[in-house]
Amino acid sequence: MSIIKDVQSGKKPLKRAYVAIFLWFTGRAIQAAAKVDSEVKKEFEKLPEDFTFSLGCLPCGPWMVVGREKGVVKYLGGDSRGRPVQVRLAIKSLDAGFLILSFQESTALATARNRLITDGEIPQALAIIRILDIVEVYLLPKLIASLAVKRYPSWWSFGRKLGGRIGVYTRTLLGI
């Protein structure tokens, strides 16, 4: 018998499932926010017609893909299905993805901590980060959102916050 054992790396089904569900939810929320929030809408309009971006974990996923189809922003599922992806935001490990998506580590902090690799044209990647920040403000209660983004937009009107939140949530859950 060899003194060296070969060991297959294990699996992490629970963490994987959690991350996959949250990515799915975020993807649908971006689709919803693109309809409800004028700022998100404007950011997307500045991007190319068939623009696609993905967010997920290295080395083996899961991923979320969002893109514009004929100008309409759509959540495109868990893999890019052969579509060219212009911007890829890759979290360095499934565990880091779990830290971020379970709000133990904010997106801004995760970037600061070097856990996020951004691939693609920088101006487009920055637009995506601004969109994610706005979506986070809609999805999360203020206490958590103010940790997740660098600066909580306390100057937003009450109407924008409430109306937007209801709109984003309803559309996310219904998938419209």
1 near another protein, judged by CB under 8 A: no
The DSSP line for 86-112 is: SEEEEES-HHHHHHHHTTSS-HHHHHH
Q: Which is nearer to another protein, 117 or 166 (CB)?
A: 117
SS3 60: coil
The DSSP line for 105-171 is: S-HHHHHHTT-EEEES-HHHHHHHHHHHHHHHHHHS-HHHHHHHSSS--TTS-HHHHHHHHHHHHHH
Interacting positions 134-163 with another protein (CB under 8 A) = 146, 149-155
Task: Show the binding pattern over residues 40-69: x = contacts another protein (CB under 8 A), - = does not.
Answer: ------------------xxx---------
Q: Contacting another protein (CB under 8 A), which of 35, 83, 85, 95? A: 95
d(CA 128, CA 18): 22
Q: Contacting another protein (CB under 8 A), which of 120, 140, 165, 169? A: 120
Q: Which is nearer to another protein, 42 or 69 (CB)?
A: 42
d(CA 119, CA 83): 16
11 near another protein, judged by CB under 8 A: yes
Q: Contacting another protein (CB under 8 A), which of 29, 40, 96, 131? A: 96
* Residue found by looking up tokens 């206490």 in the block: 143
* Residue found by looking up tokens 């419209």 in the block: 176
The binding site for another protein (CB under 8 A) comprises 2-12, 15-16, 58-60, 92-96, 99, 105, 108-109, 111-115, 117-120, 122-123, 125-126, 129, 146, 149-155
